[in-house]
Amino acid sequence: MKKTFVEYKVKLEEMDAYRLYMADVLQRTDSVEWLESQEQPGLFLEIHANSEEGLAERRQADPNLLRWAQNGSVRVWTFFDAGQRPRN
């Protein structure tokens, strides 16, 4: 099982439009947790459970997401279950 973490900061003046965009995104999936930082308003984290191949690249290149991300910066990490590490 893999999980992909997507982090970005949204321009505050774009927050309403961004929230509408994410409401639409979340309606189409049930495997995404969407979090906002308590300490840094506008800093978001998406946690994609059981992420499929290519998800990281798609989120980093998503023109809709890049539209709202400050400086077009979207950081992505994919992790696998360390207990299920593939053997060489």
Q: Where are the domains of the chain?
A: 2-82
pTM for this predicted structure: 0.85
- As given in the structure block, the two tokens for residue 6 are 């997507």
Cα separation values, 7 from 12, 13, 26, 85, Å: 16, 18, 16, 24
Determine the pLDDT at residue 47: 95
pLDDT, position 54: 86
The pLDDT score that the predictor gives to residue 16 is 94
Whole-angstrom distance, CA of residue 40 vs CA of residue 35: 12
For the chain, first and last CA: distance in Å?
A: 17
Residue 51: per-residue pLDDT = 76
Class of domain 2-82: alpha beta
pLDDT at 86: 63
